[in-house]
Amino acid sequence: MEKLQDIDELFNKGVILRKTGNPKESILYFNKVLEVNPDHLDALLNKGHALGKIGKYNDAISCYDKVLKIEHNNVLGLINTGLCYHYLRDYEKAISYYDKILETHTQHANTLYHKACSKALQNKFDESIDLLEQAIKLNLTFRVKARGDLDLDKMRNNERFMKLVDKWKD
């Protein structure tokens, strides 16, 4: 029982460090947890997130791959893998992970939003705006987020986009 408590303490310390802007240090704690339990999903997810924060996207993908081997439909593992590929500018691969989520969670606003961003960077503006509209209907905060998102810069002068983010109403 003491071992489990130690793992929980190490994990919690890692989470606190990650959330307070110390991703490199948090990784050390997640590694300690993973030494004891290599299949600790939350440690793998948090380590992947911390690696992504410091720009080590391929290492983060390795963590998420382990998560997805254990739980192949893990939404956080799928969306974070998609985000890593997005940041690596492999938009098709990113979209393939978003699509896996949307197969079972068709109304997942966060996934719709990120897929819209990848589509915009592929210059598929109509598809992007359609996805963005869906995301905003599900969660109005995405309207505000879209206004400043650099991924959507190529669409700033698109009339549909402007109407969606500036004057969109229920």
Sequence-distant (6+) residues with CB within 8 A of 30 are 11, 14, 43, 44, 46, 47, 50
Average pLDDT, the chain: 94
| Residue 169 pLDDT > 80 | no
Q: In this structure, are residues 152 and 146 in contact, taking their beta carbons and an 8 Å threshold?
A: yes
Q: What is the pLDDT of residues 52-77, one digit of tens each?
A: 999 999 999 999 999 999 999 999 99
What burial class does residue 38 get, using C-beta atoms within 10 Å of its C-beta: 0-12 exposed, 13-18 middle, 19+ buried? exposed
Q: What is the 3-state secondary structure (H, E, C) of 31-81?
A: HHHHHHCCCCHHHHHHHHHHHHHCCCHHHHHHHHHHHHHHCCCCHHHHHHH
Residue position matching structure tokens 């990848």: 118
Structure tokens at 41: 């999903």
| Residue 5 pLDDT > 70 | no
Q: In this structure, are residues 74 and 68 in contact, taking their beta carbons and an 8 Å threshold?
A: yes
Q: What is the pTM of this model?
A: 0.91
